[in-house]
Structure formats: C-alpha cells, structure tokens
Structure 1
C-alpha cells in the first residue's frame, strides 16, 4: 500500500502581500478553463472511493469534471473511518495535484451542524443547543474540536455555521441555527467561526475554514417553507439580519460565505450584486470566496425564472459576485465559451478564481496538501472531545418547570422509575443506570415511534398503529413510582426539505401523533411525571406545561445527551440553559419573537391567554437567584459616549449554579417604530450558594444605534431603558437620556 509523505510540523502563515503575489502569478499562467475549474465544487458521490487494494478508484465522470482543476470536492470519505478518510483524501489530493498543469490542490469540504458530518467523529449537540447554553466560550471550544477533527481526516472547509435568524418554528431547519435573536446569534456565530478556524492562526495546518451561511435572510422564508420567498424591509435587513454575517466577516474572519437559497424582496440572492459585492465586499471588506448553495446558480433559470437560460444564469451569478458554483454542471462550465465571446468577463473570472486560490494559500495547501493518516484516528473522538460534548449537553439543558421541587430526584432513596416515550433511545436505559446507581430500578418502554421512518416523506403512525405500544408504555408507568416521559420530535418530524425530493417543514407546531394522549394517560395514574423534551423545532407544549410535575427541555443533544439528562435529573448537575427562542402557545401567535415592534403588542387574540408560554431567555435552576442594585454610571450621555450598567447577582439557593444575566435595551421613542426591547449583552456567571457578584456591562453607542427614517444608522437622542434580569420578561429597569 502506497504511503504519502506528510510533514508533521505546521507551516508558518504567509503574509497577505506574499499570497497576493502568488495568486497573481498563478492566474497569469492559467487558461480560462483552469480558472473556471477553480470556480466549481463537485460532490464525491459522482465517483470517489477506495478500492479493495487500498488504491483510489475514480469514475470517468469525476475525472471529466476535474480535468481542468477544481475548487473543491464535497464530502470525500464521509462514510469512512477517520484514518481511511485521510488516506482517501491524500490519494485524491495527489491525483488533483499531479493532474494539474500548475500543481493546484483541491479543497475538501464537509458540513458541521453537530460535529464533522462524517463517520468516526464526535457527535456534538446541534447549534440550537449551543445557543441554549448561552456560553460562547464553550461553543468556541467545541468548534475548535470540530476544526481539528475535520482537518485530521483531510478536510479543509465546512459549509457551516448558519448565521440565519430562525423566528418561524414551522421551518424544518430550525435546529441548524442559533435561534431568534440578532445578538445571541452573532455571538454564537463568531464563536463557531473562530473555533473551527483555530482563531484564524490554525488555518494553515490544524483547522479548517468556515463558510458562513445563508447570506442573507434565509430563515425568514414565508410560511416557514424551504425555498419560499423572503420579505424583509431594508431597515430590518440592516438592523437585524445582517449583523451576524458582518461579525463573521469582520470579527471572526470567515473564509467563505454561502448565498441564500432565497431572495430578498424579489431579488434572488445568487444574482444580487448589491448584497454579494456592495455590502459584503465594498462595505465589509470581505476577501474570501462566495459559494452558491446547492445548484442555485442553475435555479436562477429553471426555478426562480430570473434568467432566460443557463448562459444567462451563469452571467447573473458571475456579475453579482458569486465565485463558486456548487454541484451544478450546467452553468459555470459555460463561462470559458462566454468569456471568449465577451472578453469583458475575464476580469470577473480572474477575481472569482483569485478568491478561491487565495483561500487555498491561506489554508497552506500549496505547501502541504496532505494530512497525517496515522494521526487521524488519534485526534478524532479524543477523550477531551467526548468530555466537551458532555459539558455542552449539560450547559444547554433548560429547566422549564419544577413543581414542588420535583427535581432533582434522590439517587439514594430506593425507587422504581419508568423511562417511556417515543424519544427514548436504545442507550437511554444504560446511561441512566450508570448515572443513578443501584438504588434506582428502571423500567424502559419506548411505546411507539412517531412516524414510519421514511427519511424523505414520512407518515405519522395512526392511533391504531400506536395502540399496542401505548398500552406497554402506560403499563410500565403504572408499575413505577415515577415516570420520566421522553417526548417531542425527531429527525423525521423536523428536517431539511431538499429541492427535488423530501419535505421537512410543518404547518403546525403541536406535538405530533399520540404523544399528548400518552402523557394524559400516564398523568392519570397519579404518579409524578417528568417530561423530557427532545426536538428540533419549538413546539407548543400547553398540555405538558399545564400538568407535568417538571419539564426539562433538551432540544437535540449530542451523543452524551441522555447521560447529561440523567445527571441533571438526579442532581449531579444543575440546569443552566436558557431559551434561545420564544415558546408560543399556538402557531396562530406567529410571528412571536420577543423583539417585535412595540405596536405588535397592542392587541392579543380572543379566547386564549396572551403572551408566550415561556419567554425568550427563560430557564429555571435548582438554585435561586436575586437581582439587586441596578446602577448606571451616568444618567445622561451624548450620542458618542458609552456608559456602564451594573447589577448585584446573588445565589440565594442551596446549590452552586450558573445564571445567565441578560441585558436588554428599549428605545422609548425613535424616528421609526422601534422593537419592544433588544438583547444587547449577556454573561453566564457561576456562584456558590450564598455568594454574590457585581456584574457590569458596557453600553456602547453601537448598542443604541438604529437605522432611522433617513436610512442612516446612528444613535438618535432620547430616553433609553436598560433592562437586566434572568429572562426577557423578568428584569430590573433603569433609564438614561441620550442628548
């Protein structure tokens, strides 16, 4: 078996001036076909595998697609072990380099929603869980591990993280993003990009580049439906949607940006020059590469109908500033011919290809295109990565209800506990047994599944189909002293709705199937019922909220999730998660993010209790916290000044615990109608029982600014209210004047 020599020492980062010189020199030698080759990414599924003899096997179709070079390959070795993937990627890279006239390597690209999307890597929780932790430092550590595991198996970029705001839980991709709030999403995205890129310093050797997506506004698709249109005012786009992307570019230095599947008020994002060039490059100074979402340049023609044919679609994308065509074999492959017919396109092609080549130099691929095959298995799933996965799961669990101090459960008192419900996993019982010890006897009975398990078009199981399992689950609960009920949703009830096949969005946010009926039957037994929610979208859980003795919201945790849940239920960890999205009572209340315009709260609805079931930022603890002495450093400032806000936080309970102190700003009057309040800062603080700490925030002019009636973003004079507390609805308030 052939072994490719791979240097183990990282290469020093080249200066950007040196890199620009090398890019220009390389472009001057390349043909049009070779430049356009650097503007395309193909998927390894079209023909990359390892033969039984350990040698690379490539299909003729794959060879044809990369014969002039290629920007990158998506997911090579994704179903193989880290060491095997490293070998495949080394051999694949060797083929690309040796078959390129100029020795140009390829970038190998993965996804990273909950760790590297590949076999043999650490399974972390989803981004929505990360947001629920309200712990950017921990999130950066997690993405640091993701970057290291990906680079070890020979990957160089990931189409992650998402900087979208998700405010409609009908949308099946809710768990891929960091929630509803601009500031929380911004902090999480910056942490993710910095982590996966090794704070930029690791890009040449140990980490991979981030492709932040979907630029911009994709989470605002109408009706919560994938590929639907997006209607966002220019003001809301500037003030709410763009800041996480801007921070990814300017603070975290993301190497890539992926455009949105959608449009912005009728202008397709993949053909939006104002967005991709004007805002992204001219205003923000982005010098990485832009990449289409899957096949979306072609969809300018055959789906969105803003291009007359594939030639026109390719021109629209190129002229707008779209550098790389992902997957589609019908659009950018036309550019060499189009450029010969119209030489004015060549500078645009040079710029796009140059952006990709610059990224490859930053990644150190020209110096060392290979990875250390022996190290791949040592880095992947290392012990500290597994420990970090558990820490993240523990930090993200949200205690929504704890009637009569039902939790934590005593592990010293002998008792029998039933673990039941459709979200029970195969290893749930064993993980609970390991945590709880010998005093607790567990009965495990899943009862029934939610759907038939079809990954593309799942059907809900009927009441008749669920009935036998329902009886088993209720019988197990009847035999126990208490019941822990695992309900919510799974990978079949909330998911991506792919373009040509599959659905993933829902018209309702009620718990699906027979879950509420199962809860009611178990509750009628008169035993304590602890609900554990596992889900990928916000659910209207009115029945559970009304009658459960306790509710622990776990969202979609990683491989250590059930262990973390058990540790929390049995008091080995104190819950500290906070809601990253408002929890409505019904879908009819949408839109329902907490930071809507103030006038939206004038009227409620008939026949329901108004307000959220649980507000944004909400989360209980086994301990208790008291806020006191809110103090501002000034009562008046001018538009260019900052001030500080301080509050005394005291742990008045019996447990060492963490509390997330949240700072909101309300602009009482403006030239435009302002949000009811906006999160501007937060701090996660750990205190011993009886301990107090003064928490101080700086309030800067940027935190007070908005885009006014004249479409200029600035601080407008007037009164501002500072609100600090444990959720968006539980705060102490103080005001100051901006002169």
Structure 2
C-alpha cells in the first residue's frame, strides 16, 4: 500500500474558499434544514453516495515519523468525493497527536471534495474512549452495577469531552441491548438483563456523551449511536450472528424501551442496526423496524448505520437477497443511511440508479440525515479542535478520581461470612494470588493498607494462551498451584484474584474468531486452587474479575468473602483495596441474575411466573445470586410499606414509602429497589418487574424515608390485541434490597 505525506502550505480558510465564493449552506445564520436544502441539490450522485459510507482508518490513515498526516493511495482515492466518516483515526497515538492528525485529516477532506463537506470521525466506548491515552473507566456492566444514573452521566460526560478533544465526533456506543445469556461473549458491553435499569443507564450515558445535546454544536461533546437495534443480545445459544427468536410482545415491552428512550428522551444522533434477524426478518433489511418503529412511531431523524459489512451480508450470509445489488437496495429501502466498511454494498448505488432512477430519492433521504448530523455537530463551521487542550485535559486527575469513584460504587459484595471483611490494618501477612492478579495490584494494596501489612504476590498461571482469534485454555500447572498454595499457607489471609481474562469473554468476530462459550464455569484450575487454599484453614477472600456471568458454585461454597469487580477501571486495584480494608463500604448490586448452572438458561429475574413452577432434578432451585443483590458493611432494615392509597385509577398515582435504617456501625450506601407484580393479566405476566430505585447514603443509626410514585404508565403492557393496555386488577409492590428480599403491600387499579 502506497502512502503519501500530506503537507499544508495554505491557511485553512484559503483552502476552503479557493475557487468558490461563500454559498448559503456555508451560512451558519441559516437553519440546518435551509442549509441542507441548498447543499443537497448541488451534489452529484457519486458525491451523495460518498456521504453514505464509512471506512476504517487502518486502511491507510496514519502519522509519519515527524507527526505529519500520511495517507495511502487507497484512502486518497476514497476521499476525492468526500466521505460520511472514518472509524478510529489516531486511535493508537496520544490525545494531542490524535488531535493534530485529525485536524490535518479534516482539512484534507474538506479541501479535497468540491463542497468542503467535513467527515465524521467515529470511536467506540467500552472502557471510556477506545483510544490511547484516554481515561480507562470500568465497563458498562460495571456502570449498571452502581445503580447510580447520575454517576453514569458524569462518566459519559468525560467520555464525550475526551473524544471531542482528540478530534472525534461520533461514538458507536452505548449498547441498549439487554444481556440475559452469559454464554454471549459481549455481555459486559451492555448494562445487564433488566429493561428499566438498562433504560436509565442508556439515557444517562447518551445525555452525558452528547453534553445533554447542547454540547454537540458547542464542540465540547460527541454524538451517540445507540446499538444494536434490536434484540441483538438475545441471539440463540448466546452465539454471535445466530438467529433471534423472540415474541413480538417481549420485543415491545422489554427490548424496545431502552432504544425508545434513547430516541425520544436522550435525542441520540445515531442508531446502529443489529447483526441478527428478528423471527426470520434480517434487521438490516427490516423496514418495519428501521422505518416503521424507529422513525414513524418514535420520530427519529438522525442516521442509521449498519454494523460492519452487514448490508452486504444480507446476500452472502443472511441469504435473504438474491445479489449484492439486491442487498444494497434492501438496506436502503429498510432505512439504513450509512454502510460501514463494505466495498460490495452501497458502492453499487451509482450504477443501480442508472438502471432505476427512483432509487436516488432514497439516497437523498439518507444523505440529508448524514448532513443534518454533521451540522448538528457544528462541523461545517468549526471543524477543528484545540491540540493544546487535548494535551492538558484528557485523562485529568479529576477524570481518574471519577473512575475510582465509579469503581467503588460498582464493586459487589456477594458473600461475607463472619464479617471476614473489612480487614483490619494491623500487622498481617497477606498473599495476593491467582491468574487475574495485575502487576500493579501489590503496590496499590500496599498504599492503602500501610506499612504494617506485608504482601506477597504471585499470579501463578494464565488461564489462556492469549491467542486473539481462538484462544485455548492452558493445561493445569501443578507446580504453580503448589507454589500459590505455599504462599497462602505462609500468610494470615489469602486474597485470590479469579474469574476470566479478556480472552474468555469477547466479541466473536465473523472471520475465525470465537468469544462465546458453551459453559459458564470458571476455566482452568481456579476451583482447584480455591479448594487447596481453603483446606489450609486460613481466611479465603475471592476477588472476581470477569466480563461474563460465571457459575461460581465452588467459590460461593468455599470462600469466606467474595467481591465481584467485573471489569474495573485503571483505578480498580486501588478501589478494591479501599473496600477490602474498610475505607469504603461496597454498594454495588448485581445487574444480572447469577445462575447455578448453564442448564437453567434462559434465566432472569423478571421471567414469567409460570417459569418458576418446576425446578430441575439434582439442582437446588433458584439462582446462585439474584438480580439486584449485593451486601454491605452497613446493616439496613426496612420498615413496612406505607401506601398513599389502596386503589388507583388510570388518571391517578400512588406513592409508596418505606423507612430504611442503617443499624450497622459504618456509613454505607444502599440501593432501595421498587418492584411491581401484576397478579392477574390477560396474558401471562412477569414474576415481577423493577420500576424504580434510589441509592442512598446512611450513617450508623441514621434513617431515611424513601418514596416512589407508581404511575399508570408503569402498569401498562402489550395485551391480547398487541396494543398497550392498562388492566384493572390487583398488584403487589415490593421495596427492598434485591429482587428476592423486601417488604410488600398490595393495591388495586380500578377503572
């Protein structure tokens, strides 16, 4: 691949205005629609189609040894007519270097196309901005575990600011999917199994990353692309690209709400279509979904982007189109505006228009949406970023402190026999062992514990061979097990770092890469290590680090205490040490149900009541840990529920209240959760549904009355007619500490 260094000899204003005067679409005083109406008719068909395509920067966008923009011949050719956007330019260089690169890249793009149309630079966010030098936050599943939407909003505000500072404009995040199958390798990228919790997280993530929308045009934040619309997390067998079989009622009542909120309340700029199908209809070719629901019902006016290469896959993978051209037309008709990466899809549109000129009207529709997004982001008027600000403000101490704050609120205490935790900061010897131990862990723990505690640390063994495509579980290393057991034997306390590495739960890419699992037990000799250390008679504390739910039956039985950290931020070890040594009480709650066995799947707390009628032979009923569960160093008691009335109507509300008291000896946070159960419905109903939560801080002996309003909207569901209904009848309300434990009362809805 040939590369050319791009030099800038002219000022940016000269580049833009050379050989053309100022046109109406360049006038920031006009409305966005007026500007689009002026620009769109000026564009050739080929220029329009260029605004419907995104390519990845890895085909030839980079910096040379002097930090100057270097483009491959392939990229130069692609940019002659303009482009919708480029994925991940500058992702592997520092924020300041990326800001410089992206400024030069944007200048080149605007100079190279006739109308000076800027490009969208697109990133993703699974641990903060997915680029070098940005603040590394915990994963979205960690955010969900905080049960703190305001905190999540602040996290994503930083994500939006850091991305914009390095010259990015859109983010293929957050995921609004529900994840209910721990076999699925992408589980940690989403916010858990529950509709209400996911909706609150998605709302606050989008509002944060977009600067509550006003940060877009001000140039301080980026646009969100909520994904994957719709039902992607429900793939059969938990296998990426597999079919999605889901009832229309479940789709409407449980899968759609986070996306609907993203559109109507958070005003997301973009939506990404799902890899999969829904009951046999490929999502990328589904006009009822992408136009009927998304646009006609919800009023979405942003752009829809394909997942990578998925329009072309309508032909060669999904096999619902007769040819690549038919696949392109199917995606266009369905309502997909931008083709991500493919060379064998929307690239065919100019030739297709020659045969069928009516296609150009649909092209104009999509280009209008893309141009609207670019103008909402202010890119026509202020396309560049301040390189010095990127150097100063990305990954600031304030952002790192926020990452640690989020970690502290996401860590979940699953077990604490005989108050094993917190550990006292006195003279002890503590062994830090296990395959999920980080190199920096000992230093972080020492800093929190002080010099009176001696630490020994040894990872012992790896879980996998680290192959990116198809990793293999390594054979048991008996010498390593013996060595770790010996370290634990010589210590007063053993802290075992267990769970799964980045290779045991990951995205299963299309070409020869696996990330989903057929089993959910911890891999390798982790359970054996737990048994051996437990046999020593020393206190055993387990710290879980993982990206998918694990059936930790042996650990749950043998450990004295278990802290679930999922995938914490770069400050995670410090946060864990603060929790273990009692500087902060854990307050995270499970955003998913933890099953005892893969044989219980599907298994989430809000399944229909009839699913709980029978258990399984030779297996204890119920989950290992229920949704919403999490212990504390405080001790919370709940008074009986007080209702403002025994009945409500379709036009009234009921207030439910309970007093929560911390009877423990340490200040702690509790997530007070509201669940509602419809006792009788015209269709079978969920066992219960989360409808509200509030995280509160209580000092020892302190009480607080927590109140929730129950509205008619909370009680609506899709009835026999497949329309939303509000049915007369009895309802049970529970307020408590998890989906399994709380105080209850009843009320009646009367019409």
Map 1:292-441; keep pairs closer than 5 Å.
Answer: 292-411=306-425, 413-441=426-454
Q: How far did residue 53 of structure 1 move?
A: 3.3
Q: Residue 24 of structure 2 aligns with which residue?
A: none
CA offset digits 1:110-135 (Å, max 9, x no partner): 01111000000000000000000000
1:623 aligns with 2:637: no
Alpha-carbon distance change, 155 to 5 in structure 1, aligned in 2, over 3 angstroms = farther
CA contact (8 A) 2:649 2:712 kept: no
In terms of mean alpha carbon deviation, does 108-117 or 639-648 score higher? Answer: 639-648
CA contact (8 A) 2:28 2:381 kept: no
Q: How far did residue 456 of structure 1 move?
A: 1.2
Q: 2:177 aligns with which of 161, 164, 173?
A: 164
Q: How far did residue 5 of structure 1 move?
A: 8.0
Map 1:421-570; keep pairs closer than 5 Å.
Answer: 421-463=434-476, 466-570=477-581
Q: How far did residue 639 of structure 1 move?
A: 2.1
**Counterpart of 1:339 in 2: which secondary structure?**
helix
The whole-number CA distance in structure 1 between the counterparts of 2:542 and 2:63 is 46
- Structure 2 gaps of 5+ residues are 1-6, 14-26
CA contact (8 A) 2:283 2:289 kept: yes
Instruction: Tell me the C-alpha RMSD between the 2 structures.
Output: 1.5
Q: Residue 10 of structure 1 aligns with which residue?
A: none
CA offset digits 1:571-623 (Å, max 9, x no partner): 01100000000011111011110000110000000111100111000000001
Q: Residue 260 of structure 1 aligns with which residue?
A: 274
Q: How far did residue 57 of structure 1 move?
A: 1.2
Q: Residue 599 of structure 1 aligns with which residue?
A: 610
CA contact (8 A) 1:6 1:368 kept: no
**Counterpart of 2:524 in 1: which secondary structure?**
coil
CA offset digits 1:677-711 (Å, max 9, x no partner): 00010000111111111111111111100000111
Q: How far did residue 501 of structure 1 move?
A: 2.4
The whole-number CA distance in structure 2 between the counterparts of 1:5 and 1:429 is 52
CA contact (8 A) 2:249 2:718 kept: yes
TM-score by length of 1: 0.98
**Counterpart of 2:471 in 1: which secondary structure?**
coil
Q: How far did residue 52 of structure 1 move?
A: 2.2
CA contact (8 A) 2:325 2:348 kept: yes
In terms of mean alpha carbon deviation, does 596-605 or 57-66 score higher? Answer: 57-66
Q: How far did residue 16 of structure 1 move?
A: 11
Q: Residue 100 of structure 1 aligns with which residue?
A: 113
CA contact (8 A) 2:79 2:112 kept: no
**Counterpart of 2:312 in 1: which secondary structure?**
helix
Q: How far did residue 640 of structure 1 move?
A: 2.9
The whole-number CA distance in structure 2 between the counterparts of 1:355 and 1:340 is 23
Q: Residue 667 of structure 2 aligns with which residue?
A: 656
Q: How far did residue 15 of structure 1 move?
A: 9.8
CA offset digits 1:440-494 (Å, max 9, x no partner): 100101110001111111111112xx22221221111111011000000010100
Q: 2:717 aligns with which of 699, 702, 706?
A: 706
1:290 aligns with 2:304: yes
Map 1:32-51; keep pairs closer than 5 Å.
Answer: 32-51=45-64
Q: How far did residue 712 of structure 1 move?
A: 1.0
Map 1:687-726; keep pairs closer than 5 Å.
Answer: 687-726=698-737
**Counterpart of 2:81 in 1: which secondary structure?**
coil
CA contact (8 A) 1:77 1:88 kept: yes
The whole-number CA distance in structure 2 between the counterparts of 1:626 and 1:6 is 65
CA contact (8 A) 1:6 1:371 kept: no
Q: 1:672 aligns with which of 677, 683, 686?
A: 683
CA contact (8 A) 2:534 2:540 kept: yes
Q: Residue 214 of structure 2 aligns with which residue?
A: 201
CA contact (8 A) 1:19 1:358 kept: yes
The whole-number CA distance in structure 2 between the counterparts of 1:77 and 1:548 is 45
CA contact (8 A) 2:284 2:306 kept: yes
CA contact (8 A) 1:494 1:536 kept: yes
CA offset digits 1:290-319 (Å, max 9, x no partner): 000000000000100001111000000000
Q: 2:696 aligns with which of 667, 681, 685?
A: 685
Q: Residue 11 of structure 1 aligns with which residue?
A: none
Q: Residue 638 of structure 1 aligns with which residue?
A: 649
CA contact (8 A) 2:530 2:558 kept: no
CA offset digits 1:244-274 (Å, max 9, x no partner): 0000001100000000000000000000000
TM-score by length of 2: 0.96
The whole-number CA distance in structure 1 between the counterparts of 2:105 and 2:89 is 9
**Counterpart of 1:242 in 2: which secondary structure?**
helix
The whole-number CA distance in structure 1 between the counterparts of 2:58 and 2:447 is 41
CA contact (8 A) 1:164 1:218 kept: yes
Q: 2:251 aligns with which of 218, 233, 237?
A: 237
Alpha-carbon distance change, 348 to 16 in structure 1, aligned in 2, over 3 angstroms = farther
The whole-number CA distance in structure 2 between the counterparts of 1:709 and 1:222 is 26
CA contact (8 A) 2:185 2:506 kept: yes
CA offset digits 1:597-656 (Å, max 9, x no partner): 110000000111100111000000001001113111111111232211111111111111
The whole-number CA distance in structure 1 between the counterparts of 2:79 and 2:225 is 22
**Counterpart of 1:343 in 2: which secondary structure?**
coil
**Counterpart of 1:545 in 2: which secondary structure?**
helix
The whole-number CA distance in structure 1 between the counterparts of 2:399 and 2:554 is 38
**Counterpart of 1:296 in 2: which secondary structure?**
coil
CA contact (8 A) 1:4 1:90 kept: no
Alpha-carbon distance change, 371 to 3 in structure 1, aligned in 2, over 3 angstroms = farther
**Counterpart of 1:241 in 2: which secondary structure?**
helix
Q: Residue 222 of structure 1 aligns with which residue?
A: 236
CA contact (8 A) 2:499 2:544 kept: yes
CA offset digits 1:344-387 (Å, max 9, x no partner): 11111111000000000000000011111111111111110000
CA contact (8 A) 2:12 2:107 kept: no
**Counterpart of 2:454 in 1: which secondary structure?**
strand
The whole-number CA distance in structure 2 between the counterparts of 1:372 and 1:4 is 19
1:184 aligns with 2:197: yes
1:27 aligns with 2:40: yes
Map 1:130-141; keep pairs closer than 5 Å.
Answer: 130-141=143-154
- Structure 1 gaps of 5+ residues are 8-13
Alpha-carbon distance change, 16 to 332 in structure 1, aligned in 2, over 3 angstroms = farther
The whole-number CA distance in structure 2 between the counterparts of 1:71 and 1:469 is 53
1:275 aligns with 2:289: yes
The whole-number CA distance in structure 2 between the counterparts of 1:449 and 1:472 is 14
